[in-house]
Structure 1
């Protein structure tokens, strides 16, 4: 990359799960030289305009576009007008192959292929943008994996023709996961833990769980932790101790989550029950 000017920025990081390399950048003058990646490229422009040469022609890109490159596709990139801001990830072929083959007839020995490198898809762009921003903020591994799967499943389904089956109610498997989350809410559980308990794939579990409970597994877990923290606070436990006992990373984490769901911070909630 060329040296960035003062009004440009670039942040390189990895997602909390899978070690997926990611970039968040604002470019006004920086131009990429023609290059290729040995991974897929999944990203979105969320502000401004630019141009990209790929598959033998120039493409104009704008906010709300998804960039979907297959491995080893040569491309460049340059800002247009006042520049652009974008977020991009570089998932391996093995990862997207694994996702594509989960609960589908997709051949595990093959590799999915995105039909077009640039597509205007505000819904998909918003889904990927939200996931990418959470990854940069270092959200919990379970939440990161839920968002990762949702974004990549959407892109594979809509833009690579991979068919994913509809979820059934899966009452028994979901009930087992609800019990696990309810009892072991303070632990650092992963989607793999939940999928093993349900004996379902991660994607199928997430869809079935949401269909039966109205929440994702991570959202259910957070709700359970807040309920447990409320009970501890009512008994007189201080907010820091309640945070540590219910699986939150620190008191600030509990405060942010608690206030968003209860309307007041933990200290104020505890004070309401003081003798």
Structure 2
């Protein structure tokens, strides 16, 4: 496995002038995915993750829309995105540099178990997307920097654990109550159909028939419920599947075909729009 303790295996993605992104997986923390990047023009497409997303801005300003919350993140802020939450990001006033990590749900549940003394009954939920907490932000940035530079140690392990434990205590509901979605039952059937036919050429008429709605009503209701049009939702799900296939060692060209993309170039564009890096860089860090 590629780690930040092996500088010769680093993969550096150069984007536009003045932009860079470095992605790796940290075996000291259950293969935690980490990204250190500077973006001046790159704009993230609205997307979701199956993991949590936690990050801090170390310079500049990033404009964000997280589940309808529009704001700006600056140094001293900590950003939290819960699994499955629609979000995007864009540079403000010349861009930003940031550090972020993508903890798996089991990773966060494990921290919650340490705090509760038992396994949580439901996944912890961060209450607010952007928190002003300079001390907490500094703790994350320092632990993240140590991992990137190959200085992972017991001290950095303690910093990371302290950060996530303090984040859950201060800013999350450890066992949030489940909330039922209030939406047309046909929308769930459409969502499930898309998940089962990711590699196929799905058409709107078929989806409307499955939902029992007109095409116009389906488009409006689906976006209101899930925050994305059916096509954007399909692309988002395809990227989730592409990530899993890349981690299993499949070549990007084969992943593109399996996930229903026109070609590898199409996969590259959609993947980088949501991840900030190309599929090749993502796979090389495995």
User: What TM-score comes out, normalization by structure 1 length?
Assistant: 0.55
State the partner residue of 1:34: 46
**Is 1:75 the equivalent of 2:75?**
no
**Pairwise CA RMSD of aligned residues?**
2.0
Structure 1, unmatched stretches of 5+, are 164-275
Equivalent of residue 60 in structure 1, options 72, 79, 89: 72
1:116 to 117, 123, 128: 128
Aligned residues: 162
The answer (yes or no) to whether the contact 1:106–1:162 under 8 Å persists in 2 is no
Residues 14 and 20 in structure 1, CA contact (< 8 A), matched pair in contact too: yes
Secondary structure of 2:125 counterpart? coil
CA distance in 2, matches of 1:10, 1:70: 22
Q: Aligned to 2:165, which of 138, 153, 167?
A: 153
Query: For residues 230-269 of structure 1, what are the structure 2 equivalents within 5 Å?
Result: none
Is 1:13–2:21 an aligned residue pair?
no
**For residues 103 and 33 of structure 1, what CA distance do their matches in structure 2 show?**
35
Secondary structure at 1:135 match in 2? helix
Q: Which residue of 1 aligns with 2:116?
A: 104
SS at match of 1:123: helix
Q: Determine the structure 2 residue equivalent to 1:93.
A: 105
**Residues 33, 3 of structure 1: alpha-carbon distance in 2 compared, 3 angstrom cutoff:** farther
**Contact map agreement 1:36 1:71 (CA 8 A) in 2:** yes
Q: Given the alignment of the two structures, is residue 134 of structure 1 paired with residue 154 of structure 2, yes or no?
A: no
- Given the superposition, is the C-alpha separation of residues 142 and 3 from structure 1 closer, same or farther in structure 2, using an over 3 Å criterion? closer
Q: CA deviation at 1:126?
A: 0.3
**Which structure is larger by alpha-carbon Rg, 1 or 2?**
1
Indicate if the aligned counterparts of 2:139 and 2:160 stay in contact, CA closer than 8 A.
no
CA distance in 2, matches of 1:47, 1:65: 11
State the shift of 1:102 in Å. 1.2
Distance 1:159 1:92 in 2: 18
Q: Deviations over 1:9-64 (max 9, x none)?
A: 11101224111000001111110001111000111011111211112131122111
- Structure 2 unaligned blocks of 5 or more: 1-12, 176-286
Could you say which structure has the greater relative contact order, defined with CA pairs below 8 angstroms and 6 or more residues apart? Answer: 2
For 1:103 and 1:64, how far apart are their aligned partners in 2?
Answer: 25
Greater alpha carbon shift after TM alignment, 154-163 vs 144-153: 154-163
